[in-house]
Structure 1
Amino acid sequence: MQVSLLQCQSGRDVEENLSFIREQLDALAGGERPHLVVLPECCLLFGGHERQQLAYAGDDAGSELKQTLAALAKQYGIYLVAGTIPILADEGRVFSRSYLFDDSGETLGHYDKLHLFDVDVDDGTKSYRESDTFCPGEGVTVVDTPFGKVGMAICYDLRFADLFRAMRLQGAEIIVLPAAFTRVTGRTHWLPLLQARAIETQCFLLAAAQWGEHNQGKRETWGHSCVISPWGEVQAIKPEGCGWLSAEIDLKAIEGIRRNIPVVAHNRFEPPKLKR
């Protein structure tokens, strides 16, 4: 099946970001079906203070951003992992939510980012505190699709192997990862972590990333959108620039790898359990 990952350089202007995505989808039109498209984290709004997310937040039923992205899936006849958008939560905060839409624009499932990026980084921003604006999610998501089971994670989640093991135990064959890794952390950690998660889970990993300088250089992201095979090979990569990274993946490859190295059966540790 065909997969396409969009690498973006999103900013604070929602309409400008949406226009770029539409232009890219116009250029992508056609090809094989089903076609799975993955957008990066914060594809419609990125690079300002996290509190700006609140101005665009809606609830699950009424979010204009959700409706717009669902309409794109229908218009272009694609299965769309719609990056992340803010969805209202309690206590004046929002969830960082990723939706998976089918080619009719219907919602197949969603995932709220579990691990929030509250870290200090030696870059222009210095201190990141997502928990000031975002609520952590409360569950693991694996979505049934006509082409296989799709596990969903977001950016910083990549560092937490238990989440990926939990998705594998729920049947995941493909894991999607919208991301906006910082340039500083991405330079050293991005690719090794992606390959490790793919090898551990024996899943295809589809990681769509933000890239470059955002909002006059106040944020800088690493790019390097990747398609990683369940053997851990880098099947396709886009180190820099905006635009598409496309590849063909064959889920039949998973069967032999899992049969020959049956890590799930061999694992002597209890399955991971999400803390409440």
Structure 2
Amino acid sequence: MAKIALLQMTSGVDPQANFDVIADAMEQAQAGGAEVLFTPEMSLLLDRNRTRAAETLQSSDYSGFLPRLAKLATRGQTDLAIGSMPIALGDGKWVNRAHYFPADGRDPVTYDKIHMFDVELSTGETWRESATYEPGRAVQTLAGTPLGMLGFTICYDLRFPALFEALGTARCDAISVPAAFTVPTGQAHWHVMLRARAIEASAFVIAAAQFGTHEDGRETYGHSLVVDPWGEVLLDMGGDGAGIAFCDIDLDRIADVRQQLPSLANKRKIPN
């Protein structure tokens, strides 16, 4: 049995203020006995104003948050899974990058979001992530976490089953899906897709989410979830506020589900 904590945030445009929220959550996670704290997409900076965000990313202070986040993990002896934060590449493009900081001080494992959110919603919201962000090129997993083999995704990746098939084929025990889902897409698809991905991969899905009205004007759905390999929702933090919540993960459940329904073992290559 492993205990994890999820942080549901309303991140803003000030990295220091967002860091303070994460640091406070880490103290709570440690006090509550969590082995890993999961945070949402864009935990350290959520700002759709690209000019202002670029100034933040290029400041000397911003890069200093990475060692500070690592120190939170080692000081608290709780692994820290930062759902994502924007990182400037130096060529005018950014990446949306997840960081997993082990509590033993090893270098963080990173994953860059593969699928870009380029959409026009019926509500009038328009998003063009590819105008700023460079897509990731590689599937990422990490063995030996308190949850076993952990797979990484970010937000819009949720809509692409091939990525989760790859993580299932890698026999991930848990998959992280940090997000900043819009309200209309969250209401329509969030729960059903997370449950489907857990079932398909026969793995726990852990989805820490942004919530509420943010400084940059966007509104996010919340409902941070933990789903077990059978598709049962173990934790739903709702859409009414930010905060931290705990969930016990029964790792024996994975083998039980895969024995009852061995879809990963039964998978066949689809002929052309």
Q: Please give the TM-score of this superposition, normalised by the length of structure 2.
A: 0.91
Please report how far the alpha carbon of residue 260 of structure 1 lies from its aligned counterpart in structure 2 after TM superposition: 1.7
Q: Among the aligned pairs, what percent are the same residue?
A: 37
Please report how far the alpha carbon of residue 108 of structure 1 lies from its aligned counterpart in structure 2 after TM superposition: 4.5
Runs of 4+ in 1 over 3 A off after TM superposition: 50-58
1:141 aligns with 2:155: no
Identify the residue that residue 246 of structure 2 maps to in structure 1: 246
Please report how far the alpha carbon of residue 27 of structure 1 lies from its aligned counterpart in structure 2 after TM superposition: 2.8
1:32 aligns with 2:71: no
- Judge conservation of contact 1:198–1:204 (CA < 8 Å) in 2: yes
AA aligned opposite 1:253: R
Deviations 1:103-128 (A, max 9, x none): 1342352110000111112446x110
Residues matched between the structures, number: 265
Deviations 1:58-79 (A, max 9, x none): 7xxx932322211111121111
1:164 aligns with 2:187: no
Paired residue secondary structure (2:48) = coil
Compared CA separation, residues 150 and 50, structure 1 to 2 (3 A)? farther
- Judge conservation of contact 1:178–1:208 (CA < 8 Å) in 2: yes
Compared CA separation, residues 31 and 199, structure 1 to 2 (3 A)? same
Distance 1:123 1:219 in 2: 12
Identify the residue that residue 88 of structure 2 maps to in structure 1: 88
The equivalences for 1:177-216 within 5 A come to 177-215=177-215
Per mean C-alpha deviation after superposition, the further-off stretch among 9-18 and 48-57 is 48-57
Identify the residue that residue 274 of structure 1 maps to in structure 2: none
Paired residue secondary structure (1:83) = strand
AA aligned opposite 2:223: H
Identify the residue that residue 261 of structure 1 maps to in structure 2: 261
1:6 aligns with 2:7: yes
AA aligned opposite 1:181: F
Distance 1:231 1:175 in 2: 14
Identify the residue that residue 127 of structure 2 maps to in structure 1: 128
AA aligned opposite 2:235: A
Per mean C-alpha deviation after superposition, the further-off stretch among 138-147 and 4-13 is 138-147
Compared CA separation, residues 177 and 105, structure 1 to 2 (3 A)? farther
Identify the residue that residue 237 of structure 1 maps to in structure 2: 236
AA aligned opposite 1:83: G
- Specify every segment of 5 or more residues in structure 1 that has no aligned partner in the other structure, as ranges: 272-276
Distance 2:123 2:106 in 1: 40
- Judge conservation of contact 1:54–1:93 (CA < 8 Å) in 2: no
Identify the residue that residue 64 of structure 1 maps to in structure 2: 64
- Judge conservation of contact 1:29–1:76 (CA < 8 Å) in 2: yes
Per mean C-alpha deviation after superposition, the further-off stretch among 243-252 and 102-111 is 102-111
AA aligned opposite 2:268: R
CA RMSD of aligned residues (A): 2.0
AA aligned opposite 1:251: L
